[in-house]
Chains A and B, each alone.
Chain A
Amino acid sequence: MTLFTRRALVQGGTALATAGALTGPALLDWAKAWAQTAPWKPEANAQLSMLRWKYFVQTEDDAFVKLMEAFTQATGVKVNISRESYEDVQPKASVAANTGAGPDLFWGLYSLPHLFPQKCIDVSDVTDYLGKKYGGWVDSAVKYGKSGDKWIAVPVCYSGNLMNYRVSHMQKAGFSKFPATTDEFLEYAKATKKNGNPGGLALGHASGDGNGWIYWCLWAHGGNHVDQNDKVTINSPETEKALVYAKALYENMIPGTAAWNDAFNNKAFLAGEISWTNNGISIYVAASRDPTKKDIAEDMNHAYMPIGPVGKPTELHLMYPILAMNHTKFPQACKALMAFMLEANQFNPWIGAAQGYLTHCLNAYDSNPVWTEDPKRTVYRDVAKRSLTAGGEGSVGEKAAAAIADFVILDMFASYCTGREDAKSAMRIAERQLQRIYR
């Protein structure tokens, strides 16, 4: 088993020739020089507080703390970091937005800043600076970060949601590689179930994994919950096809997935109960770190979500944007921190420490060796480029956020798959919910 200590990771970071990452005094010197030349000068006696999503991979958090310490040493700005489960950041940010008090920075999920765009400070100068310096932003990140012509958040990274599968079970089912199309995938599900190695996709109220595969399935079959003008279009033959497909998959999964939240598939995969699921790379990381799960780590791999009849990738990955509230007394310090985080010297070691769990949104970071030193991580490199946004064809604003938070699409699929509703009434119920949200 490879134990990733902070020292090992930082040393690993020095090997990132392309990144030019620095450590120790060199890092501090660089950070100080950066602070001298950066366009954002923190206010006198500035102190920042940040609420971020709780890490899934410990080494990522260690590297992040180190990054923050470097910022403090370079600028004198102390940063207090609080951590919450990623689903709990939004309620706290919402309360802060409403009351005008609370942390200066919130680092949350999906379209969090679009719930209260007028409460976020304009960070267009930061994103322009970073975009020009690091090869531009991927398309979906631009959608998540911008409200109108203004950037209201900095899209820091994605957490990929791709297929995790057991290689031996795949071969036993008669496949040499993981299915690339939805039709093949259904055959694969049937074959693995027949062999006693079923998979499972969450159909409970699972914000990450549940929404991840449901939106993929909807879009893969040409369905959309709204069109480009945010007109509700969920009640369509394409949606019905997606429902029928999902039910066929569901019938070939392990029983009980209607109860699954985000943690269930990880537990089931690591216990050898399922042979495929959709997830981040955290299952692989956990298996690699646990000597008793080494066989699973060696026998598993990752693949893109299969492509459906629409003929192009239709994946939905978790986006983590960071925003600064306009109640902050230190807007310049906030901007300096955001820019500092995404500078190559900081960002590359940090994203490396996440071991593939997090993916960059700036094109230049494709060359980070984290994606190639272990080939099982490579597919996660591309998730930012392949991701669509939670709004589908429509806007990515508060309405899309409400639809995803309210599990409208997920419940439509779950009610049809579990036989609670037929396709028509499942779509009608979802349509009604969406009309309420998009009114």
Chain B
Amino acid sequence: MADVTLNGTPTTPRARSAWQRLKVNRNWLGLWFMLPAMAFLVLFLAYPLGLGVWISFTDARIGRGGAFVGLENYEWLWDDSVFWLSVFNTLLYTTVASAIKFAVGLYLALLLNENLPFKAILRAVVLIPFIVPTVLSAIAFWWLFDSQFSILSWSLRKLGLISTNIDFLGDVWNARWSVIFANIWRGVPFVAVTLLAGLQTVSPSLYEAATIDGANRWQIFRYITYPLLTPIIAVVMTFSVLFTFTDFQLIWVLTRGGPVNATQLMATLSYQRAILGGHLGEGAAISTAMIPFLLAAILISWFGLQRRKWQHGENND
């Protein structure tokens, strides 16, 4: 009986143990649990990104697939003054708007974190620019910046400060500052409210301890608030830079990239060439050219702002 039992076993003890080991292997099981998320990421993020990069190496036009042309699209862009102008505009737009959005957003967050009367209402009011659909706010700015009917020009004229209307969107630099201003107006609430959420996680006991130690308000901000806020700042500024760098709607409604491409961003130029002009390959090349800039912004935010040195001073690793 004992022999039958032993000889009738179809698998060797060693093989059975390997399969059974695999069945309870946490890494093996983990792989299967990760698969749905991986499939989602590959399908909706990696594949479109990869396809976009691939199209940039083809001469694809709308309605038909393209043949592989190597770096031809990039070679044309390299010599294209409009493309380089769009790179300059995008960098200027992103740098100036993000820096001011951060400064104003942080200031507003600190202000709203104080015990103000009507605090809840004030916090809700700050969010309004963010809630209004971008296209609507762009249209409002369109009227504000109108070369003939601008309320700003009208007011200044009535006050006797100017004699002719300000050419907000017709002059190259005026147009750039105008669209940057509109972007700041729209983007500040996101920064302010997120930083406010971060501020509220800072324990009041730290402030009390610092006050007892005789720290002034600047020292409290510099050595308590700012270091504890840095991880939130890293996240907020990463998103803020990404949103600003890839902005499209505001520019498209206000100027369509004009005058003379002075407000043409890489995103709007990509759309103009790929969808309106039909050159999908070239549009994809412009979009792909945005990736290094975006990666750099992300890397600076994550690896830079989260370093302990940055948070706690040079000697604190």
Q: Which residues of A are in contact with B by a Cβ distance under 8 Å?
A: 87, 90-91, 94-95, 97-98, 115-116, 118-119, 203-205, 254-261, 264, 267-268, 271, 273, 398, 401-402, 405-407, 411, 414-415, 418, 420, 429, 432-433, 436-437, 439
Number of interface residues of B (CB under 8 A): 39
Contact B169 A94 (CB under 8 A): no
Contact A256 B170 (CB under 8 A): yes
- Given A398-B278, A406-B273, A432-B80, the answer on whether A260 and B63 have CB atoms closer than 8 Å is no
Contact A401 B63 (CB under 8 A): no
Contact A402 B259 (CB under 8 A): no
Does B79 belong to the interface (CB within 8 Å)?
yes
Contact B276 A256 (CB under 8 A): no
Contact A94 B275 (CB under 8 A): yes
Residues of B within 8 A of A407 (CB): 258, 272
In the bound complex, what is the Cα–Cα distance between A204 and B175 (angstroms)? 11
Residues of A within 8 A of B277 (CB): 401-402, 405-406, 437
Tell me, rounded to whole Å, the shortest Cβ–Cβ distance linking A28 to chain B.
Answer: 38
* Chain B interface mostly: loop
Interface centre among A118, A264, A271, A407, by most chain B C-beta atoms within 10 angstroms, is: A407
- Given A255-B147, A256-B147, A433-B82, the answer on whether A398 and B165 have CB atoms closer than 8 Å is no
Residues of B within 8 A of A258 (CB): 167, 170-171, 258-260
Q: Which residues of B are in contact with A by a Cβ distance under 8 Å?
A: 61-64, 76, 79-82, 145-149, 164-165, 167-172, 175, 255-261, 272-273, 275-280, 282
In the bound complex, what is the Cα–Cα distance between A254 and B171 (angstroms)? 14
In the bound complex, what is the Cα–Cα distance between A87 and B82 (angstroms)? 22
Contact B80 A418 (CB under 8 A): no
In the bound complex, what is the Cα–Cα distance between A258 and B171 (angstroms)? 7
In the bound complex, what is the Cα–Cα distance between A118 and B278 (angstroms)? 14
- Given A116-B62, A405-B272, the answer on whether A259 and B170 have CB atoms closer than 8 Å is yes
- Given A255-B165, A418-B172, the answer on whether A267 and B272 have CB atoms closer than 8 Å is no
In the bound complex, what is the Cα–Cα distance between A91 and B255 (angstroms)? 18
In the bound complex, what is the Cα–Cα distance between A268 and B61 (angstroms)? 39
Look across to chain A and name the residue whose beta carbon is closest to the beta carbon of B278: A115
Contact B175 A271 (CB under 8 A): no
Contact A411 B260 (CB under 8 A): yes
Residues of A within 8 A of B79 (CB): 432
**Contact of B62 (CB < 8 Å), options: A97, A267, A436:** A97
Residues of B within 8 A of A116 (CB): 61-64, 278
Residues of A within 8 A of B63 (CB): 94, 97-98, 115-116, 118-119
- Given A94-B63, A402-B278, A432-B79, the answer on whether A259 and B258 have CB atoms closer than 8 Å is yes
Contact A204 B259 (CB under 8 A): yes
**Contact of B167 (CB < 8 Å), options: A87, A115, A256, A273:** A256
